[in-house]
Structure formats: structure tokens, C-alpha cells
Amino acid sequence: MNANPSKHYDDMGMGYIRKSKQNLHNVYYNNPAIISLAGEVKGKEVFEVGCGGGSITEWLAKEGASVTACDISEQMVKYTKKKLGSKAKVLIADISKPLVFLETNSTDLIIASLVLHYISNWLPVFSEFNRILKKDGSIIISVHHPHADWKWFNKTNYFKKELYEDSWTIDGKSYPVNFYHRTLANMFAIFRKNGFFVDILLEPFPIPEAKEVDARSYETLLSNPHFLFLRLKKEG
């Protein structure tokens, strides 16, 4: 069972895309951290999971990567396809199911930006990631920080894997958005079981320009982590 992000994002549609292009957490916090972990991508075969409105997809294409991007939301895929045209291959896919459109040992880099917390069972996901990734390949992940999300929702048990029910307001309308909390130990156990080790764990601050956009959120993020960033390497 997953948190049904396809319905969430299809319902929010263009409202979400517009917001994500200016939202501090996306533009000045998440995306710079993902890009810093990706490094040089020119000439690499990159698979982007949960491409959303295509901001990272666009950066990858501009930097010379060969990009296959997917999202479970039809609305997000339609928008990103139109935005990038032939610069990237963009398709609808549920990553909790076999990635039949990607060959074994075909991918240099996987980017999963703010998507894995919508998935209950990570085991088949990382099994497929191991299959498609080349021997020296990497995975870059951003997820809700496990030591923060349980506090946002005033939960009493950090160790309980649980579906949290959130609500986002976009263009004056409220949308339900659900996601899973899991412990850091659980994440690392799944990585090891599927042949990955953590190369870098990053808990960044937003970039300085964020202060001019939303000073309150900027100051909050200087003392309260919101997302966790990881770069995994394939063992052996």
C-alpha cells in the first residue's frame, strides 16, 4: 500500500507546479542540495524518480545528461513532457512496480527527490534500483527528515512506522497529502539489504538567497532540519 500520490498531484495540478517554482523548500533548499550531490552529470544515463514539474529534469538535460524521468501523476508527466520535448524521455510509472522500461545495468545515476516517503514498502523499489544501476552507479535521495516529521505531527512514538495525514493549501484550496514516517535505522537496513552503502549524508541549510524570499522559513531551517539528503553507492 502506498499513499496514492498520483491522486494528490493530479488534483493539485498546475497549482502545485506554480507553487513549487517559487517555494523556498523546493527552490532554495531541496533542489540546490540534490544538484550539489549529483555533481557532474554530462554524458551520464540518469533516471529521475518523481519528476513533478520537471525543474530537476530540466537542469539534468541542460547539463548534458541523458534523462529518463517518471512520475506517477499523469498531470505532472503531461506538463514535463510539454516543457522538455525531446530533451528528456518522460513517462508515467509507479516505482513500487518493476521498471520494465529500463535495462539491467543501464543507469549511472538515480535521483529520487521527495518521493520515497509516499511509498510504504521500499524493498522492491531498491531491488529494482540495484538491478538497473551500473556497478559504480549512485542514488541521490531526499526525503522528509525522520527526526523531524514525527514532531511536526505531534506523534509520541518515533519508532512506529505510520502513515501521516497532511494538508496543503494551494490557491486557497486545501488538499490531503499523506506520507509514511520511517526511522533512519529502517532506511539504512533497506539500503544494506539491497546492496547499497551511504556515501554521503547531508543535512544542509537553505541557500542564503532564501532569506529574501521567506525570512521566517529560512530562520526555521537554520535550526530545524526538514529534509534528509543521501547519496548511496552500489556495493562491489
pLDDT-derived band at 12 (thresholds 50, 70, 90) equals: confident
pLDDT-derived band at 13 (thresholds 50, 70, 90) equals: confident
pLDDT at res. 33:
98
pLDDT at res. 17:
82
Burial 84-98 (b: 16+ CB within 10 A, else e): beebbebeebebbee
The percentage of the chain sitting over the pLDDT mark of 70, rounded to a whole number, equals: 97
Tens of pLDDT, residue by residue over 67-86, are 999 999 999 999 999 999 99
Structural domains in the chain (count): 1
At residue 121, φ and ψ (nearest 5 deg) are -105, 110
* Residue 189, domain member (yes or no): yes
The percentage of the chain sitting over the pLDDT mark of 90, rounded to a whole number, equals: 85
Confidence check: pLDDT of 15 > 90: no
- Mean pLDDT value across residues 20-31: 92
pLDDT-derived band at 6 (thresholds 50, 70, 90) equals: low
At residue 109, φ and ψ (nearest 5 deg) are -145, 135
Cell of 152: 511536526
* Residue 162, domain member (yes or no): no
CA Rg, the chain, in Å? Answer: 17
Confidence check: pLDDT of 231 > 60: yes
* Residue 150, domain member (yes or no): no
* Separation CA 41–CA 73 (nearest Å): 26
Written as one letter, the residue type at 218 is Y
Between 232 and 235, whose confidence is greater? Answer: 232
Tens of pLDDT, residue by residue over 164-186, are 999 988 888 898 899 999 999 99
Domain that holds residue 36: 5-145+184-234
pLDDT at res. 7:
66
CATH number at residue 74: 3.40.50.150
* Residue 81, domain member (yes or no): yes
Helix 184-193 vs helix 123-132: angle between axes, to the nearest 10 degrees? 40
pTM of the entire structure?
A: 0.95
* Residue 114, domain member (yes or no): yes
pLDDT at res. 84:
97
DSSP string, 159-209: TS-EEEEEEEEETTEEEEEEEEE--HHHHHHHHHHTTEEEEEEE-PPPPTT
Listed residue (191, 203, 196, 208) closest to 145, CA to CA: 203
* Residue 152, domain member (yes or no): no
Strand spans (E) along 38-172: 45-49, 66-71, 89-92, 107-113, 133-144, 162-170
Tens of pLDDT, residue by residue over 89-136, are 999 999 999 999 999 999 999 999 999 999 999 999 999 999 999 999
* Residue 176, domain member (yes or no): no
- Mean pLDDT value across residues 180-202: 97
